[in-house]
Chain A
């Protein structure tokens, strides 16, 4: 097996193997478990670095394995895959650190970290899938691996959240499978091909292709939380904070959005999809989701639920970008995949800090928390400003490209949607910041678990990850034009997707 073949497998193994070993560890082997977790995360980061270097230079990484005649598992680590892989690998490292701190003294940590690792393994598989079959296999594996994490606490609310989560995701999986097999029957194995697989196959019935598109998008749309399939996301907030961070920034929602990207660009091909009239409905759905999600967020008092609805809205920026025909929209959508991940994980880390340190779960309890936990609130503020699209943040960069893409595609109404969403974001984030910084704190916090020690407002492991990701939020905007930024990588992808037009 050449190095071009085993590197993708190694990336998957770097979280699978530690995960399997961790399952077997007794609860009290904390040091070994931590070491395995960190070793896996660092190894993965290193391997991903190698992949990036190779792909940038034009190397091809991939692997095929036949399971049955006509059915193959295909891995393909191309530029688009690496975008998702890198995001996942980097954020997994931070989330692992955070989770170790968050779950200190919690029960069933071996089980938690085992499934945690399986989750990331599944995400890597989704990212590097080279055909619809492989994508589906890892997509459903992600559902199965995240369920135990959602119900980890074992309370009745957790069980309920888990049931709702399963109902939505399994139903979505069934729709996805129907679409995939139908497509396989019509046009052969659904390989992800640059420029679109179906675009190159003549003589396919348009109505059938439109129906299949609807099935596929419905299937991946459940995880991507597009309206009306988003109901599971606020309910899944019963999970511990590291799980919410992982689910909402990295794994599940991004997997759904990534699926939409792959389907539109590499199964249908963006020009073919445009000619079938598929992009406008998709854009409309994305717009509805953006506005609906932000509107619902306004009325949530529970902090994590407010962030959940914010995610519903923000992930559809990616879908909007995909639906805007033209390289500018593509760049906007894809770069938001990374930027939203970084910003949202910051916000969830901070929400977790408030809950763990002071017992704060609701916005109304956050008065004056900026004095007690200034660093956390600083990170939260940066994330919130990024969501609003304030200048010098990652969010601003994505919004700029999306707006340009909208006008280039002749869909000026989308620019209004983006502005409306920014206003709504301000409407539900600014009051939080106002409360946190400018109001007086109450005499006691709901449940102070961690007491300040000098300058240290909470445990280091809880404080450092959000600070890092907040710095990243600003850094990716400040250095957007350098060749190491996510934006540069996304422009590379767009160049390869639209070879005839240069952004």
Chain B
């Protein structure tokens, strides 16, 4: 295929283009550019999907420059799944944000979103460690910008905290890259997979530790989660959705790639190492769920739910030796959670906008006038709880199966308890919504929200459930990636 039409390049170029145009043009053109752009990106991913399904993995040399000075973009099954998730959620969120921000868009919202998407696509398509650093930074800076955009003091503080955390994370990552290059003279992930053996020098172990810890900081795994609730809970709903659904998944994806790719020999030499992310993940599930149950504000509840759900992703690491099951469980969980969390933040945003209160108690009686939104929240909650027939359930099933195969029954207990805890905070909201308003709560009905606000939430939530029913092609794509 002519390099001009290569979908890999367009996936990065297109968002860069529309983001720049959105920055330069008048603000009212932002939504149209974003919708056209994300639509085009989705098309590119679909074209790419058919290519990858046929060939296994596709590469593209940017500008035709050969490595090591040139940059090679590569797409395989795993990156394809993440790309699909990103483009799909981004399109839905663009539709939502268009209606949500009908009166006052935070400055630079559309350009920042475009740059964020460009960074994420580049991250999923990069094959060398240094380029990954650059994309990580691009994503991080855009995300910080979104958190801070047009906000008050609380949002600026949250953005500063997020910025410092993310910079420490990528700083550690960069240091690791430096050590790796010093030891092996290359930063290509595939080459390093063959070069790094169990007898690697101390510098490489140090590099591995630094890079992986830096990524944990960016993925907000306990105990590095402190920056997430203020940032995700305080931002406007579309921004929270983007962050919780997509951005944290990017650093998780990278963690997974490094674990399975360049550092595979190290992690296999010391199996006890895998228990560390799993133990942290289990603690995150319990702690995050507890904070969500006790949260006073609705968006905080959803943000702490993200902290908890991210813990599930890290439970798979002790189980990766048993074949494709654990990997499928993790990626399916990431995808289902991405869709469900986006739906949940979107629904929360609509509830807050219409109800006028950002407290959990403000949801009381909402079932009467916002049924579609509530239904979307409930469906998203079903995925988070891991109840059938959702994607979250299928992921839980695969996780439990993998845990039994690997002989780690404690993970089964954690997974089941996590589902019950999620049930507590989800039904906290749903119960309030079904409650008949008491005498002094009987305020006159506020204006009905635009239909789009309700139905994007519903579409995202339905997506997270449908994945559970038709997961076969997704799992086939992931199975192609050898652990």
Residues of chain A at the chain B interface (Cβ within 8 Å): 23, 66-69, 71, 108, 111, 136-137, 140-141, 143-144, 147-148, 151-156, 159, 162-163, 166, 170-171, 173-174, 177-178, 181-182, 184-185
Contact = CB atoms under 8 A, between A and B. Distances in A.
A141 B435 contact: no
B471 A159 contact: no
Given A171-B420, A178-B416, A185-B405, 19 more contacts: A66-B472, A68-B328, A68-B394, A68-B398, A111-B371, A140-B388, A144-B378, A144-B387, A151-B431, A154-B365, A154-B435, A156-B435, A163-B431, A166-B423, A170-B423, A173-B387, A174-B419, A184-B401, A185-B404
Contacts of B420: 170-171, 174
19 contacts: A66-B472, A67-B470, A67-B472, A68-B394, A111-B371, A137-B389, A141-B389, A144-B378, A152-B434, A163-B431, A170-B385, A173-B387, A174-B416, A174-B419, A177-B396, A177-B416, A181-B404, A181-B412, A185-B401
Interface in B313-329: 328
B436 A154 contact: yes
Of B367, B397, B470, most A-chain CB atoms within 10 Å? B397
Nearest to B476: A69
- What does DSSP make chain A's interface, helix, strand, loop or mixed? helix
B344 interface: no
A141 B465 CA distance: 12
B177 interface: no
A219 to B, nearest CB: 11
Contact of A68 (B367, B387, B475): B475
Interface string B386-404: 0111000110111011001
Contacts, number: 82
A69 B471 CA distance: 10
A71 B423 contact: no
Interface of B: 328, 365, 367-368, 371, 378, 382, 385, 387-389, 393-394, 396-398, 400-401, 404-405, 412, 416-417, 419-420, 423, 427, 430-431, 434-436, 468-472, 475
Contacts of B471: 67-68
Nearest to A162: B431
B289 to A, nearest CB: 14
A123 to B, nearest CB: 15
Contacts of A173: 387
Of B388, B398, B423, B431, most A-chain CB atoms within 10 Å? B388
A386 to B, nearest CB: 36
A67 B469 contact: yes
Contacts of A137: 388-389, 393
Contacts of B470: 67
A152 B328 CA distance: 39
Contacts of B404: 181-182, 185
Contacts of B388: 136-137, 140-141
Nearest to A66: B472
Contacts of A156: 435
A155 B400 contact: no
Contacts of B475: 68-69
Given A137-B389, A166-B423, A171-B420, A154 B401 contact: no
Nearest to A175: B416
B79 to A, nearest CB: 21
A498 to B, nearest CB: 33
Given A68-B398, A68-B471, A170-B420, A178 B412 contact: yes
A69 B397 CA distance: 12
B363 to A, nearest CB: 13
B401 to A, nearest CB: 6
